[in-house]
Structure 1
């Protein structure tokens, strides 16, 4: 098992600990919920959006005061691809900052032992040297297509670091995963991140027998993808181990990247789409490359386990089973 070094330290989780997953229905939150359930945790706190409005400070504080979670994973927030970021920049910065401040302040007020906060690789400068190390943050301007989201996440990262410095501990653990994918992602072709959007587009094109799929940009941009199950595994590693000497924040990646064109070809083949792929050069690529240096978390014994090919296959199979099937049924009803 990966959770080693369980020394007598007040902020190391055990299986009797209460843990609150904010955003348990989303990509990372649901992966962690599966992992905790598999490991035998029963004292897991979750609330649907209809039950707890994370944008409301008083509701969040009341939840923490009543339930007293010992550990928190903040996986809630507004996320999306380039198009969503361009269309709703105010929503991305305001909603994420509100959620972050509400949960972080409530956690601190109620003496949470450890909290994991997720930043984003889009916080790094657009033209950053590769692979990007944590010390490269704030050395340049992030890519403009996701700037409001990046600013919100940078604010969350530095709130965690400021609390740790002022309080003299390492309770707030900011983690920077690269492009996360897997079950329960947002597969909306317009609002989702690139990998999930490509799965949706190619699957639909295959079903409807389109002769071509049009994709944004040149396809030359390179991205590093990490499966949600690996992110959940990294969370467990951080929660179960003494990280008092770990330099924060920590990057979390798979260790290699691929071009968007390569990714598109892999997903087209996986889906059975045999048409043409056209690239809309009038649309932006985003950052030219985003590859993380994950040496800090590797140094404490965590490494990814899910290869991109295996992750793509399992994610596509989940999508067809849970979402794509409804497209097939609708197709049948309309003929």
Structure 2
């Protein structure tokens, strides 16, 4: 099938899939003639991509047309739909039209139904951070591809340190592969804990420690993050986002909203099934407590942007939040 629709939040996995297909079908000597990349947020570019896909291959190999951030599965004019309907069935097997989008396709649209009929559709959503079994399986899969021999303790450590960040997982695992070299010994947690940089997942652990009032653990996590060169503003962004989500969920719960889909939409959470998990995290807190934390985080962001020292600013805010 010469048309591909890749969608989901895991942009790194999408990029890997696109690059793999590109390498498979293109002759590197004819790359300049047979490879085209266009931004898909403009209807004219979608039409241009269709025309390029219909153009015969020049020289050796096949043709590869890559459309990024394709909006055609979210909105589509009648003119563009007409172009898609006419041209997609005519794309030859020697051409490959790849459309990518971070958003879930709207299956109510005629354009989406058309693409589902003629395309290879693949979902690249991130694994939810609470599905640790799947995250462990992902670590083992990457380790297998890189010929890394990891103990179960090392796998669990990597899940805790990296979370569902696919790009960071590959970067850290590649680093471990270089460290291991020709030695095929089993790498344990002790071997890799000083090599792997924990960031986003530890920022979420920091948010949890603050939520639970564990100031000692929170201060330790904040110090570790800064010692690993994690930008302070990035830490604050993660904290603010998490506390904002918790606050919205708690407010809606206290308002007796039963529909998790409505809550997820307001909290800007793509997977409504995650709401039940987040409700459990904040079951011992009320909305007033959570609301009182947001101004402290806002002031912390202001202090950091004003040039204040990162560790002291974070420490002061943590004490106030806990």
Both structures adopt the same fold (TM-score exceeding 0.5): no
Give me the TM-score of the superposition, normalised by structure 2: 0.26
Relative contact order, higher structure (CA 8 A, sep 6+): 1
**Which of the pair is proportionally richer in helix?**
2
Give me the TM-score of the superposition, normalised by structure 1: 0.25
**Which of the pair is proportionally richer in strand?**
1
